[in-house]
Structure 1
Amino acid sequence: MSEYIEVALRSLFILAALFFITKLLGKKQLSQLSFFEYITGITVGSIAGTLSMDLELKLLEGLMSILLWFSVPFVFSLISLKSMKFRHFIEGTPTIFIENGNILEDALKKEKISIDELLEQLRKRNIFRASDVQYASLDTNGELSVLLKKEKQPLLYEDFFHYTGKMIQIQPVITDGEIDIQGLRQLGFSEEWLRLQLKQRKVPLENVFLAQADTSGQLTIDLFDWTGEQPS
């Protein structure tokens, strides 16, 4: 068989295998990938490119290597869907950089982000004063989320009718039926407060898919889509 034909066939076969793998991984965009998933993707791509061009490498052995590199993040993602603690361990949690206009220097040092880099990210969002920011955090995918102070935000319809003049912070407090202690602490509420709120609404903890609370104590709840079975 001609080397050119063999390279073409190997490339097409590997391309089909990578397409199947990416379909299994889901529809995450590049910016949504965790650092571990990003590194795995680069490694798998490098193996695939080498395998398609180097005819001395055995195709099946190369595919086995690709499957092994793929299987680890795939298994991790499945476990992360079931366990909030494991998800926080693997993907980390958002880091607050600015709170009520104050820059948290220790948080910047922890994430190895300089003040110049933070200000650059703010300028990309047309924010030129850190004091205008009510809340800014570095998400697990490396994106900076920013909430401006109320007086710096564009006017909305509700501003004309029930403007409170006070900004509130919103945090998830229950995810997949598990209480998020860190979210409660950031809002200044206790686990007992949350359980009391659920009791008053007659909602079992294990029935809650997502619950979010704000600093004013308002709690919103989204339940599992029940089919008669308990969530695993």
Structure 2
Amino acid sequence: MEWLHIVLRSLGAITMLFILTRILGKKQISQLTFFEYITGITLGELAGFISTDIENNYMHGVIALVVWVMVPLLVELATLKSKTLRQWFEGKGTILIEKGKVLEKNLKRERYTADELLEQLRAKSVFNMADVEFAVLEASGELSVLLKKENQPLTPKHLGIKVAPERETQAVIIDGNYMDEPLSTAGFSREWLDTELEKIGVIKDNVFIGQVDSYGQLYVDLYDDVLQLPENTQKPLLYATLKKCEADLTLYGLATQNEAAQAMYRHGAEQMQEVLKQVMPLLKR
């Protein structure tokens, strides 16, 4: 019955490894530092040892697992309060490019070749090293890159455009079923959702995924990929209507000879321009 013994030992090792890894936290499955790297390898080796080495004492392996979890845990708690310990155990970043210049000494110290540097830059969608202002090799081995100002992508802030804040998009239908909690979080009801589906001529059972964004816009992906959904024109229509109102007010002001009416229409047109400026981030997206 050795196979049953191995099965039971393996199940116990898996359970303990899962619990102990949960105690260590999410860092153990993300970008690892040197210390976390050797900890992860050793925990895996110990789990394999206590699963299959039936000739040795099972509890000895369990004690070794606990020790290899407690030591990193204590070290992590200590590094939270000490920058010196944090740098010693986790390492620190190394600057590889500064002010557009490659620091060859730092490359050599990290045993990085020019080809490896270029490969890491390409992984960041940077194919011309002349575009780089600053690059640092993090303790985790990840290369962080800052492009020169003229090579950075434009944002609405650069253009002086005010953008409305975003909230998390909620998945309100999955596999043809209502997701009541996300729907409630978005501030809508099933009745509202049914109305929106009816507008585009879709039944709930044909929806693979349905999402509502922060502006109350419903997007659906259907099981039936052949079915073409109509484009949502609510926002363009509202924007066009507001622009027409502004144009009409301006036109009325030009058409009348009454000075008081001209002032009234001009004031109304200015107010409409302000409204358009405020709602444009919501409607032009």
TM-score calculated relative to the size of structure 2: 0.54
Contact 1:98–1:134 (Cα < 8 Å) also in 2: yes
CA separation of 1:30/1:23 partners in 2, compared to 1, >3 Å: closer, same or farther? closer
Measured in 1, the distance between the counterparts of 2:82 and 2:142 equals: 23
CA separation of 1:114/1:30 partners in 2, compared to 1, >3 Å: closer, same or farther? farther
Q: Could you say which residue in structure 2 is the equivalent of 1:7?
A: 6
Contact 2:79–2:86 (Cα < 8 Å) also in 1: yes
- Structure 1 unaligned residues grouped into runs of 5+: 163-232
Measured in 2, the distance between the counterparts of 1:29 and 1:122 equals: 26
SS of residue in 1 equivalent to 2:39: helix
The within-5 A match list for 1:15-26 is 15-26=14-25
Measured in 2, the distance between the counterparts of 1:30 and 1:127 equals: 27
Give the letter aligned to residue 126 of structure 1: S
Aligned length: 161
Q: Could you say which residue in structure 1 is the equivalent of 2:214?
A: none
Quote how far apart the aligned CAs of 1:25 are: 0.4
Q: Could you say which residue in structure 1 is the equivalent of 2:66?
A: 67
Contact 2:28–2:40 (Cα < 8 Å) also in 1: no
Contact 2:33–2:91 (Cα < 8 Å) also in 1: no
Give the letter aligned to residue 160 of structure 2: F
Q: Could you say which residue in structure 2 is the equivalent of 1:81?
A: 80
Q: Could you say which residue in structure 2 is the equivalent of 1:116?
A: 115
Quote how far apart the aligned CAs of 1:30 are: 3.4
Q: Could you say which residue in structure 2 is the equivalent of 1:194?
A: none
Contact 2:99–2:134 (Cα < 8 Å) also in 1: yes
Contact 2:96–2:103 (Cα < 8 Å) also in 1: yes
Q: Could you say which residue in structure 1 is the equivalent of 2:144?
A: 145
Quote how far apart the aligned CAs of 1:49 are: 0.6
Q: Could you say which residue in structure 2 is the equivalent of 1:27?
A: 26
Q: Deviations over 1:159-201 (max 9, x none)?
A: 1239xxxxxxxxxxxxxxxxxxxxxxxxxxxxxxxxxxxxxxx
Quote how far apart the aligned CAs of 1:13 are: 0.9
Q: Could you say which residue in structure 2 is the equivalent of 1:222?
A: none
Identity %: 48
Q: Could you say which residue in structure 2 is the equivalent of 1:54?
A: 53
Give the letter aligned to residue 120 of structure 2: Q
Runs of 4+ displaced beyond 4 Å: none
Q: Could you say which residue in structure 1 is the equivalent of 2:98?
A: 99
Measured in 2, the distance between the counterparts of 1:104 and 1:131 equals: 14
Contact 2:32–2:140 (Cα < 8 Å) also in 1: yes
- Flag the structure with higher helix content: 2
Give the letter aligned to residue 40 of structure 1: T
Give the letter aligned to residue 5 of structure 2: E
SS of residue in 2 equivalent to 1:20: helix
Q: Could you say which residue in structure 1 is the equivalent of 2:125?
A: 126
State whether structure 2 residue 35 is matched by structure 1 residue 36. yes
Quote how far apart the aligned CAs of 1:29 are: 5.4
Contact 1:102–1:130 (Cα < 8 Å) also in 2: no
Q: Deviations over 1:52-78 (max 9, x none)?
A: 111101100111111222222111101
Give the letter aligned to residue 112 of structure 1: R
Q: Deviations over 1:14-50 (max 9, x none)?
A: 1111111011101125342211211111111112112
- Structure 2 unaligned residues grouped into runs of 5+: 162-285
SS of residue in 2 equivalent to 1:57: coil
CA separation of 1:142/1:14 partners in 2, compared to 1, >3 Å: closer, same or farther? same
SS of residue in 2 equivalent to 1:65: helix
Measured in 2, the distance between the counterparts of 1:72 and 1:83 equals: 16
Contact 1:10–1:52 (Cα < 8 Å) also in 2: yes
Give the letter aligned to residue 133 of structure 1: V
Give the letter aligned to residue 138 of structure 2: D
SS of residue in 1 equivalent to 2:49: helix
Give the letter aligned to residue 136 of structure 1: A
Measured in 2, the distance between the counterparts of 1:30 and 1:120 equals: 24
Quick check: which has more Rg, 1 or 2?
A: 2
Q: CA RMSD in A?
A: 1.5
Contact 2:80–2:86 (Cα < 8 Å) also in 1: yes
Contact 1:134–1:148 (Cα < 8 Å) also in 2: yes
CA separation of 1:134/1:161 partners in 2, compared to 1, >3 Å: closer, same or farther? same
